[in-house]
């Protein structure tokens, strides 16, 4: 952020609590850069996962599970389902949380759910070049280093016995 969203003045750097932040010289407000929230879904069917070949940066031409930014005021689970529909053309039911991921110096926090197909045909959306099903043993080149770790956690989670009680639903 270069300008104060409150009064429009250019921000100046200030060391605050051990980190460089932007401070407005006019209204004196310190502005903290917040991470963007991203929701994604590992969609599975018959021991395969649905992936899209990215047509937009980052990772153009590489593959990833459907994911995208959560809009302000949007419920995270709704955003996850919306992203699946927009990116690979299918409606899903979320079956559980795989995990929440963040990395040092990265501007996003990624929330990943597991999901199964409710209806629709796997079709690439406007920001995907292709969409297809893959086994975890024969994954294509992945767009993000973290994806392989997330798939391994998902596989371990899905191999565990289901907990007693009501299934996860949103």
Is 40 found in the same domain as 26?
no
Confidence check: pLDDT of 161 > 70: no
Is 167 part of a structural domain of the chain?
A: no
CB 31 within 8 A of CB 21: yes
For the chain, counts of helices (H) and of strands (E):
2, 10
Is residue 131 within 8 Å of residue 169, measured between CB atoms? no
Same domain, 62 and 15: no
Backbone angles phi, psi at 56, to 5 degrees: -135, 155
Helix (H, G, I), strand (E, B) or coil at 88: helix
Backbone φ and ψ for 145, nearest 5 degrees, come out as -55, -40
Range(s) of the domain holding residue 134: 36-159
Give 165's pLDDT tier (boundaries 50, 70, 90): very low
User: Quick one: CA dihedral 134, 135, 141, 144, positive or negative?
Assistant: positive
Q: Are residues 76 and 126 in the same domain?
A: yes
Torsion of CA 131, 135, 137, 138, to 10 degrees: -30
User: Same domain for 88 and 71?
Assistant: yes
> What are the residue numbers of the active site?
130
Q: Whose structure tokens read 């969409």?
A: 131
Stretch 56-83: mean pLDDT, rounded?
96
Q: Are residues 14 and 44 in the same domain?
A: no
Residue 54 has pLDDT above 90, yes or no: yes
Are residues 83 and 144 located together in one domain of the fold?
yes
The mean pLDDT value of the chain amounts to: 90
Into how many domains does the chain fold?
Answer: 2
Helix (H, G, I), strand (E, B) or coil at 31: strand
66 and 116 both lie in a single domain: yes
- Quick check: 160 pLDDT over 60? no
């Amino acid at each position: 952020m270069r300008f104060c969203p409150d009064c429009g003045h250019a921000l100046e750097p200030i060391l605050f609590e051990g980190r460089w932040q932007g401070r407005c010289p006019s209204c004196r407000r310190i502005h903290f850069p917040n991470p963007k929230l991203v929701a994604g879904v590992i969609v599975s069917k018959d021991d395969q996962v649905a992936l899209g070949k990215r047509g937009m940066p980052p990772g153009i031409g590489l593959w990833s599970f459907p994911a995208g930014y959560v809009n302000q005021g949007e419920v995270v689970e709704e955003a996850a389902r919306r992203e699946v529909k927009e990116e690979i053309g299918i409606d899903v039911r979320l079956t559980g949380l795989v995990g929440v991921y963040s990395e040092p110096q990265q501007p996003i926090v990624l929330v990943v759910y597991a999901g199964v197909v409710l209806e629709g045909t796997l079709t690439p959306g406007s920001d995907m070049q292709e969409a297809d099903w893959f086994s975890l043993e024969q994954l294509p080149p992945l767009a993000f280093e973290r994806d392989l770790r997330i798939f391994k956690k998902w596989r371990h989670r899905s191999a565990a016995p289901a907990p007693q009680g009501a299934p996860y639903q949103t």
